[in-house]
Amino acid sequence: MQPTVSPTSHVNQKRPLQKGANDHVSDQTRMVAFETRDLALSPTVQPKVLVVEDDAAIARAYVRAGRASGYEVIATSNGRDAIELAVSEKPHAIILDIGLPGLDGRDVMVMFNSMGITANTVVVIVSGHDQQHDRVAGLRLGAHDYETKPVRADLLFSKVGRLLEKMRAGAI
């Protein structure tokens, strides 16, 4: 089992998503889960961000920066839990590392797209892969932005905030 960083910044053990665990859920049901989520954030709604990062130190930095910026932050270190948390928690934004163990970030993006998650959720890929073709591939997968590591966590959350504003305004 992979450790995850919880909203209270301590490490939890998450149960990995079992192969076929969601086979009973139809594609239409998966789509509805994201079509019905209200993106209209008001000042009383704390935006929720899912951080998917396998480096514990980086994940902790993202969690701290996100909370300091006023976000509710949940985190996991692997792709299978990312899919499970995206469905159950319905985050407004996802920060996704590409180089994850097991189910990597590219596979996670394919799943997010097939489940309708990227239609109503800002996704920012953060990766150590810094070639132009890596950026293009990440954006073609449906990410709203692609940042190269190392990236300052506070600036990353500023970017997430701007992208959320654009999504609320219908600009993306």
- Whether 111 has a pLDDT exceeding 60, the answer reads yes
In whole angstroms, give the CA distance from residue 14 to residue 2. 7
**Which of 107, 112, 96 minimizes the C-alpha distance to 33?**
112
Edge-first strand order for the sheet with 48-52 is 72-76, 48-52, 93-97, 122-127, 145-148
Query: Looking at residue 32, what is its pLDDT?
Result: 40
CATH code of the domain in which 97 resides = 3.40.50.2300
Q: Does residue 34 fall inside a structural domain?
A: no
**Using 50, 70 and 90 to split pLDDT, how confident is the model at 42?**
low
Higher pLDDT among residues 12 and 74, named by residue: 74
Q: Does residue 103 fall inside a structural domain?
A: yes
Domain that holds residue 148: 3-8+42-162
Mean pLDDT of 82-86: 98
Q: Does residue 51 fall inside a structural domain?
A: yes
Cβ–Cβ < 8 Å for 54, 142: no
What is the number of H-type helices and E-type strands within the chain?
7, 7
Q: Does residue 149 fall inside a structural domain?
A: yes
Q: Does residue 18 fall inside a structural domain?
A: no
Query: Looking at residue 172, what is its pLDDT?
Result: 85
Averaged pLDDT score across all residues of the chain: 82
Q: Does residue 37 fall inside a structural domain?
A: no
Q: Does residue 155 fall inside a structural domain?
A: yes
Pick from 16-20, 49-53, 167-171: least confident: 16-20
Question: What's the structural domain count of the chain?
Answer: 1
Mean pLDDT of 85-91: 97
- Under 8 Å CB-to-CB from 25, ≥6 apart: which residues? none
Cβ–Cβ < 8 Å for 130, 46: no
Q: Does residue 80 fall inside a structural domain?
A: yes
pTM of the model: 0.77
Tokens of 22: 């969601």
